[in-house]
Amino acid sequence: MNRSHRRSQGGFTIIELVVVIVILGILAAVALPKFADLRDDAHTAKNSGAGGAVAAAMNIVHAKWLASGSPATVDLEDGTMVAINATGWPTVAAAADCVTVWTQVLQPGSPTVATGATEDYQATFAAPTCTYTYVPDAAPVRTVTYNSTTGGVVVTP
């Protein structure tokens, strides 16, 4: 009697352990691709958020321009003066202007931009459009474009 009592409390059999390991392996194989894809989703979300912020900021600048009687510059009320073109949007004529406009209209702590690939975004210019290319993730290419003639902002995830 003592012998059967010991045997019933002996622990797991090797078969039970193998079954548990196989089940954990299957769960890991199913879950791992979901977690690996989160990084790509995070980069897409950051680019979409930055693009939305730029679009909203450009519309605020344009609304201030309209409300102020169409002046050549708009005061963003923090002392920042933004040069405005004839259609009421921030003026750009070179990649350096794209950097200036980005930093003027967005709040501190926003993604950073430069003409080189040293910041979150690299600014390039082809009249009348600023293209801000997301640097931390090379593929796929994610961009935010700003058209200074129409004020249009397009986000390419």
Tens digits of residue pLDDT in 82-103: 999 999 999 999 999 999 999 9
Q: What is the DSSP letter of 153?
A: E
The pLDDT of residue 67 is 95
Closest CA relative to residue 155, chosen from 118, 111, 119: 111
Per-residue confidence at 11, pLDDT binned at 50, 70, 90? confident
- Check whether 79 has a pLDDT greater than 90: no
Closest CA relative to residue 46, chosen from 143, 153, 146: 143
Q: What is the pTM of this model?
A: 0.78
Q: What is the DSSP letter of 142?
A: -
